[in-house]
Amino acid sequence: MWWRIIRRSFLNQKTRQALSILSIVLGTSLVAALVNLSLDIPQKAGAQLQAYGANILILPQTSAAGDESYILEEDLASLEQGATAQSITAYLPYLYSQIEINGRKVVLAGTWLDAVPKVSPWWQVAGNWPTDAGNASETEALAGVQAAEKLGLKIGDLFSIKYGNNQRVLKVAGIVTSGAAEENQIFVSLKAAQQLTGLPDKVGLVQVNARSSSESLEQLAMSIEQQIPGTEVRVVGQIARAEKQVLSKVQLLMGLVAGLILLASGLVILSTMTTTILERTKEIGLMKALGASNRLIVGFYGTELGIISLGGGVFGYLLGYMLAQFVGQRVFSAAVSPSWLAFLAALAVSVMVIFVGSAPPLYRAMKVDPALTLLREE
């Protein structure tokens, strides 16, 4: 009989129950979406902030005498192994030297040209990126826009460079704009630079893009120092500290917005449920008049509310997850990972709020004798 009553309560009061469930689904979907997002967004924002470039710099330890020192290129392979590899998204070695072009001093930089966009995505290249052809008679190069202007170089031009007694002919494959030092430099493949300067397998510094969280960056820097002998590894303060600051703001913002929405949803659900229960006071009065015990009544309404809140909570979470995905895809073009916390939050909100909202009027109805709700003095 008990289940029959509950079943009937849902089947024969479809509009009312549907409205209650609807308001719960809506409220909890918002909460679930926001919780999901606020857990996920900081990580996505962090990935976005990777576009600011290298946050770790590997430099060779300089001797007390101040001679030029280098890092061995082959040692860099250890960056791809073990725990450090998981934190590093990309790295880029550079070898700098001063060359002469038409009698003018210019900085030549050798690097892994195909890996540059991963570490320095802001480079704007007109023309083409050089192809990494080691020993060809015309080595392709990138010319910084200011250097090109001042040397009168255009895309496709050939020019010769001198380093000590070595000479080389380079071809301008593209021109790079960045607003910084690169604009005054010439870029070739690392191998070509090493050949020209007679420093095979040597590298002057390495830029590293690592996943953030600044405490772990310091630790990462130390473990790299241990992994590659003879290095000094720095956490680039400009990038790392600012990132930390910005991310904490984003996290705080998302958290507060989530809290705001949690509160709002809770209140709206509360007012809907309270309204519903108030209206059913007559029913409660009747049951009490018929002799139903308090335990039975609490059992009925509790079960009904439980079904509504659980059902509403589950659907709300699913809807919320879809909403979070929509936002994640639209804004970051990435999937939002489902979160147990969001699921629990959605359920918690719906269950808690419903019971909190229903408890006072139910309690009142329980305490007050049904005579006052049912009968009137005539």
The residue (of 4 and 74) whose beta carbon lies closer to other proteins is 4
State how far the Cα of 217 lies from the Cα of 263, in Å rounded to an integer.
36
The residue (of 76 and 292) whose beta carbon lies closer to other proteins is 292
Considering the complex, what minimum distance in angstroms separates the CB of residue 9 from other proteins? 5
The residue (of 331 and 348) whose beta carbon lies closer to other proteins is 331
The residue (of 3 and 81) whose beta carbon lies closer to other proteins is 3
Considering the complex, what minimum distance in angstroms separates the CB of residue 369 from other proteins? 6
Considering the complex, what minimum distance in angstroms separates the CB of residue 159 from other proteins? 13
The residue (of 331 and 352) whose beta carbon lies closer to other proteins is 331
Considering the complex, what minimum distance in angstroms separates the CB of residue 29 from other proteins? 7
Considering the complex, what minimum distance in angstroms separates the CB of residue 68 from other proteins? 10
Considering the complex, what minimum distance in angstroms separates the CB of residue 246 from other proteins? 6
Considering the complex, what minimum distance in angstroms separates the CB of residue 156 from other proteins? 21
Answer yes or no: are the C-beta atoms of 108 and 193 closer than 8 Å: yes
Considering the complex, what minimum distance in angstroms separates the CB of residue 291 from other proteins? 2
Considering the complex, what minimum distance in angstroms separates the CB of residue 332 from other proteins? 7
State how far the Cα of 333 lies from the Cα of 336, in Å rounded to an integer.
10
The residue (of 132 and 146) whose beta carbon lies closer to other proteins is 146
Q: Which residues contact 220 (CB under 8 A, 6 or more apart)?
A: 56, 84, 87, 88, 210
The residue (of 132 and 232) whose beta carbon lies closer to other proteins is 232
Q: What secondary structure, in 3-state letters, does the chain show? A: CHHHHHHHHHHCCHHHHHHHHHHHHHHHHHHHHHHHHHHHHHHHHHHHHHHHCCCEEEEECCCCCCCCCCEEHHHHHHHHCHHHHHHEEEEEEEEEEEEEECCEEEEEEEECHHHHHHHCCCCEEEECCCCCCCCCCCEEEEEEHHHHHHHCCCCCCEEEEEECCEEEEEEEEEEEECCCHHHHEEEEEHHHHHHHHCCCCEECEEEEEECCCHHHHHHHHHHHHHHCCCEEEEECHHHHHHHHHHHHHHHHHHHHHHHHHHHHHHHHHHHHHHHHHHHCHHHHHHHHHCCCCHHHHHHHHHHHHHHHHHHHHHHHHHHHHHHHHHHHHHHHCCCCCCCHHHHHHHHHHHHHHHHHHHHHHHHHHHHCCCHHHHCCCC
The residue (of 89 and 131) whose beta carbon lies closer to other proteins is 89
The residue (of 48 and 132) whose beta carbon lies closer to other proteins is 48
Q: Which residues contact 217 (CB under 8 A, 6 or more apart)?
A: 55, 56, 210, 235, 240
